[in-house]
Structure 1
Amino acid sequence: MAEHLDVIVVGAGISGIGTGYHLQTRCPDRSYAILEAREQMGGTWDLFRYPGIRSDSDMHTLGFSFHPWTQAKAIADGPSIKAYVEETARAYGIDRHIRFGTRVLSANWSTPDARWTVDTDGPEGRKTLTCGFLAMCSGYYSYEKAHAPSFAGAEAFAGRIVHPQFWPQDLDYTGKNVVVIGSGATAVTLVPEMAKDAGQVVMLQRSPTYVVSRPAEDAFANWVRRRLPSKAAYGVTRWKNVLLGMFFYRMTRKKPEQTKQRLLGMVREHLGPDYDIATHFTPRYNPWDQRLCLVPDADLFAAIKQGRAEVVTDTIDRFVPEGIRLTSGRTIPADVIVTATGLELSLMGGVPFTVDGEPVNLADKLQYKGMMFSDVPNLAFTFGYTNASWTLKADLVAKYVCRLLNTMRKRGVRIATPYNDDPAVTTEAFVDFTSGYIQRAAAALPKQGSKKPWKLNQNYALDVMAMRFGSVDDAMRFSNPSLTSVRRVA
């Protein structure tokens, strides 16, 4: 017989560890296991090993709500974040629930049984598990495949080509010419870090991204930590950063041109009046149409001013043995080319799902409160905010799952299925975001609706009200497999 658990959590990154904590705290009578395909926990912070890897959100909001981040640096490096996740899992005994090296192959729902059958491949080979509820905390991108456009002449390049997602630990770029292709968060992280040892680093971009400098340390957080107990100080700083972020985002959307000019003015303050801000740091879109790139302590601007790094805005004609030839005719010499060209989106790890034998096509589904899918029972997924820290949304989703489970137990029902019976609800894009990894996968993604609870808030305060205090009956059918007709519980 297959092993049965009340809840199976897929993924042992920040989302999965947080979900484990809330399950054992809020639903202590429920059994759970966390399935992790890799041999280590940490998710993103275990996978990415490129130079300078760090957060692009402050750790007072990227950190767990229940376990304070106490280090001085608010913008933390990858190894420190991974260690924090591991320390949290150990502190609360969550690590004892993790099954490493266990990959989910498929998940199949049976209404008569009111359970998911989850096929896995792990250290003991193929194994089948069952569960009453499935929580997918596996992130949003493929760990096995990155976005890597083909470049003409790449085979003729005499140097080495690497992608940040698969960073070779034996790569020595000391004193060498490096070209980093890209303008996103990974590129602006790599360039100043590699510039410390490389001969020259060029950030080659087709078009600019908004880049904002922020102190690596949060002076307010460090001040209040000396005056309040750890959890109280953490909570105060967390809400301070949440509210400031919400205010900035709202002003950005309300006054995009004014915000744009302020952001560009800040770059000009760092690089001086003679630098070509219009060409290299002025995007073609409004702020927050894509995520802003954070540079702690202006490290990217410092590398540029010191002559250790250069930004080139152009398009690639082809790779040549000595480097990259641009359409403008210029050839950039390179010994190492880093293709920081983005991620390959893979929602819920690309796991195939069926409901009563019928394949689930996510593109046909509406997302419910940004965490479940229409007509798919007892399944939650975590997808963080695009305009704030991932963990803020992950924390709310985990708490809502627990609330849902406790409601089902109290009412004596085993199935919870989001459904839409409002013909006035129209479909909209998965998220209102123009980043390449979203747009490339748009046709395969679930949709959001034009009304709540199918409409995304992208606002933490509104989500707190909706997910902590809003009705669990909103567009949700509760049922038991033995019932001949589905009833909605008042």
Structure 2
Amino acid sequence: MDKHVDILIVGAGISGIGLAAHLSKHCPQRTFEIIERRESFGGTWDLFKYPGIRSDSDMSTFGFNFKPWTQDSILADGASIKNYLSEVIAEYQLKSKIHFQHRVLSANYDSQTQKWSVVIENAQGKKQTWIANFVLGCTGYYNYDQGFQPDFPNQSAFKGTFIHPQHWPENFDYSGKKVVIIGSGATAITLVPAMVKGGAAHVTMLQRSPTYIASIPSVDFIYNNMRKVLPEELAYKLTRARNIGMQRGVYALAQKQPKLLRKFLLKSIEMQLKGKVDMKHFSPSYNPWDQRLCVVPDGDLFKVLREGQASVETDQIEAFTEQGIQLKSGKHLDADVIVSATGLQIQILGGVKATIDHQPLDTSKHMLYQGVMVSDVPNMAMIIGYINASWTLKVDIAADYICRLINHMDQQGYTEVIAEGDPSELMEDTVMGSLTSGYIARAANVMPKQGKHAPWRVSNNYLKDRKDLKQASFADPVLKFRKAVSESARKPKLVS
């Protein structure tokens, strides 16, 4: 039996919940439903359970613009972020709108009816067809079922426990065990001090190449002091503006004077290591922000390294052995537990097979209009957060734009909108930008592509995007609007 919905949001993570809150505020005339394939909300913050899981962006910008983050922590653990999202769900009465354990199997847009036909498998394993006017993709950009897993030589020989952080065993006891973590990104640098604190005998971070890491305070004392004398909302806005400015400032410095920023970052690390660890392990061959800059609270990573509770090796894997990992340098790392913090498997739209009039949609051959709407795809938008700033900054401004677009269509009586793409604009680079990280490179055959010029160029610049999306005119000739086609007009006419 078909279920008719107005706006269908796919995904109840931070993007889907944020978008739903914006729709509640700005489009009260519209109804929406949220489908979530998992048993709970939160997306990333429900999936990942590894020790120390936390944000790698400050919470004044990772929180929504409409709901202040009231804790004093600059970075927040996964449970705190999920609790924050639960408060948003309660405040905007979203609970009844979320349908858990509902998996999208396929989605087809019918140009004649101007509707999406979405085939869903529900919690009972039965197929349903939901008919929607709009489909809004809020599924992030990675595969929740499987992380990226390289094929390590002789991996099956290892007799200990092998784990990918995306599938951390419940109540896993690693106390007293020797741990090797493969990787040097945000997950690895979070795991090292967390597993030391959790009782591991020793933790070794094995990296192929170093990563830029900055130490930041765990508590925002300035924000705390402002909250004592200013209204909560004002203190939050001022702190948010300050941190947005700092994010953009650091990124701009990386583009204009990379050597200066590199010198500053490495000097900071050197001071924290106090000569106890060779700086070769923290001196990348690339410039700052060619790959994502990682952060650690209160220098916790450097503390466990200089105290000898953890160590770092920069080397390549020759092969796994029964007792650990043989390195190409000839050194052997003994391990009871090996954690493969090797990143994400890129996926768009949650892996949904979408079609338009039953013709397959290959997102890698399309662009994003204003960073929000997929070119040549009717009545669809998606939210992909920033790679060089807090994900949620993009959620807020993209959601505002989507709300403005829907309200414009309602005012004009339009039922369909298409951002008509220009093939000459299509570039090889993806909307993920110019970062050289492995997961970015793996996105090429999945992610929408960059355009040469606006409105097809994704800038990954929050301040520019905020201005552009707020001022964007719907009179743009790229946007093609249509009104509802009457039933009689769709019926074939008999010719006498």
Tell me by how many angstroms 1:239 deviates: 1.0
For residues 372 and 384 of structure 1, the distance between their equivalents in structure 2, rounded to whole angstroms, comes to 14
RMSD: 1.4
CA contact (8 A) 2:276 2:306 kept: no
CA contact (8 A) 1:56 1:75 kept: yes
Q: In the alignment, which residue of structure 1 is the partner of 2:259?
A: 257
For residues 152 and 422 of structure 1, the distance between their equivalents in structure 2, rounded to whole angstroms, comes to 43
Alignment pair present for 1:136 and 2:137: yes
For residues 7 and 422 of structure 1, the distance between their equivalents in structure 2, rounded to whole angstroms, comes to 29
What secondary structure, in the 3-state scheme, does the structure 2 residue paired with 1:130 have? Answer: strand
For residues 463 and 428 of structure 1, the distance between their equivalents in structure 2, rounded to whole angstroms, comes to 22
Q: In the alignment, which residue of structure 2 is the partner of 1:46?
A: 46
- Greater alpha carbon shift after TM alignment, 93-102 vs 42-51: 93-102
CA contact (8 A) 2:372 2:383 kept: yes
Q: In the alignment, which residue of structure 1 is the partner of 2:482?
A: 479
Alignment pair present for 1:10 and 2:16: no
2:219 pairs, out of 217, 226, 232, with 217
For residues 365 and 473 of structure 1, the distance between their equivalents in structure 2, rounded to whole angstroms, comes to 22
Tell me by how many angstroms 1:473 deviates: 3.1
Alignment pair present for 1:172 and 2:168: no
One-letter amino acid of the counterpart of residue 102, structure 1: H
Q: In the alignment, which residue of structure 2 is the partner of 1:35?
A: 35
One-letter amino acid of the counterpart of residue 60, structure 1: S
Tell me by how many angstroms 1:230 deviates: 1.4
One-letter amino acid of the counterpart of residue 257, structure 1: K
The Cα offsets for residues 147-201 of structure 1, whole Å up to 9 and x where unpaired, read as 1111122211111101100000132111110000000000000001101211110
Q: In the alignment, which residue of structure 1 is the partner of 2:494?
A: none
The Cα offsets for residues 439-478 of structure 1, whole Å up to 9 and x where unpaired, read as 0131232211010000012111111111111212332111
Q: In the alignment, which residue of structure 1 is the partner of 2:162?
A: 161
Normalising by structure 2, report the TM-score.
Answer: 0.95
Structure 2 unaligned residues grouped into runs of 5+: 490-496
Tell me by how many angstroms 1:233 deviates: 1.3
Q: In the alignment, which residue of structure 1 is the partner of 2:493?
A: none
CA contact (8 A) 2:277 2:305 kept: no
Q: 1:103–1:422: structure 2 CA closer, same or farther, 3 Å change rule?
A: closer
Q: In the alignment, which residue of structure 1 is the partner of 2:272?
A: 270
For residues 311 and 374 of structure 1, the distance between their equivalents in structure 2, rounded to whole angstroms, comes to 45
For residues 210 and 230 of structure 1, the distance between their equivalents in structure 2, rounded to whole angstroms, comes to 34
CA contact (8 A) 2:113 2:485 kept: no
Tell me by how many angstroms 1:91 deviates: 1.7
Q: In the alignment, which residue of structure 2 is the partner of 1:241?
A: 243
Tell me by how many angstroms 1:48 deviates: 0.2
For residues 303 and 342 of structure 1, the distance between their equivalents in structure 2, rounded to whole angstroms, comes to 23
What secondary structure, in the 3-state scheme, does the structure 2 residue paired with 1:51 have? Answer: coil
For residues 167 and 155 of structure 1, the distance between their equivalents in structure 2, rounded to whole angstroms, comes to 19
Q: In the alignment, which residue of structure 2 is the partner of 1:191?
A: 192
The Cα offsets for residues 61-110 of structure 1, whole Å up to 9 and x where unpaired, read as 11111111101112011111111111211122012210111111111101
Alignment pair present for 1:66 and 2:66: yes
Equivalence map 1:369-388=2 (5 Å): 369-388=370-389
Q: 1:149–1:426: structure 2 CA closer, same or farther, 3 Å change rule?
A: closer
For residues 160 and 28 of structure 1, the distance between their equivalents in structure 2, rounded to whole angstroms, comes to 51
Tell me by how many angstroms 1:129 deviates: 0.6
CA contact (8 A) 1:354 1:360 kept: yes
For residues 426 and 99 of structure 2, the distance between their equivalents in structure 1, rounded to whole angstroms, comes to 41
The Cα offsets for residues 409-461 of structure 1, whole Å up to 9 and x where unpaired, read as 111111110013484x3524112221111201312322110100000121111
Equivalence map 1:217-366=2 (5 Å): 217-273=219-275, 275-277=277-279, 279-366=280-367
Alignment pair present for 1:147 and 2:148: yes
Alignment pair present for 1:468 and 2:475: no
Alignment pair present for 1:442 and 2:444: yes
Tell me by how many angstroms 1:258 deviates: 1.2
CA contact (8 A) 2:60 2:68 kept: yes
For residues 95 and 217 of structure 2, the distance between their equivalents in structure 1, rounded to whole angstroms, comes to 33
For residues 473 and 149 of structure 1, the distance between their equivalents in structure 2, rounded to whole angstroms, comes to 48
One-letter amino acid of the counterpart of residue 228, structure 1: L
Alignment pair present for 1:77 and 2:80: no
Question: How many residues are paired up?
Answer: 482
For residues 226 and 116 of structure 1, the distance between their equivalents in structure 2, rounded to whole angstroms, comes to 50
What secondary structure, in the 3-state scheme, does the structure 1 residue paired with 2:81 have? Answer: helix
For residues 416 and 117 of structure 1, the distance between their equivalents in structure 2, rounded to whole angstroms, comes to 17
For residues 122 and 230 of structure 2, the distance between their equivalents in structure 1, rounded to whole angstroms, comes to 46
Normalising by structure 1, report the TM-score.
Answer: 0.96
Q: In the alignment, which residue of structure 2 is the partner of 1:453?
A: 455
For residues 21 and 38 of structure 1, the distance between their equivalents in structure 2, rounded to whole angstroms, comes to 20
Tell me by how many angstroms 1:207 deviates: 0.5
Tell me by how many angstroms 1:481 deviates: 4.8
CA contact (8 A) 1:212 1:295 kept: yes
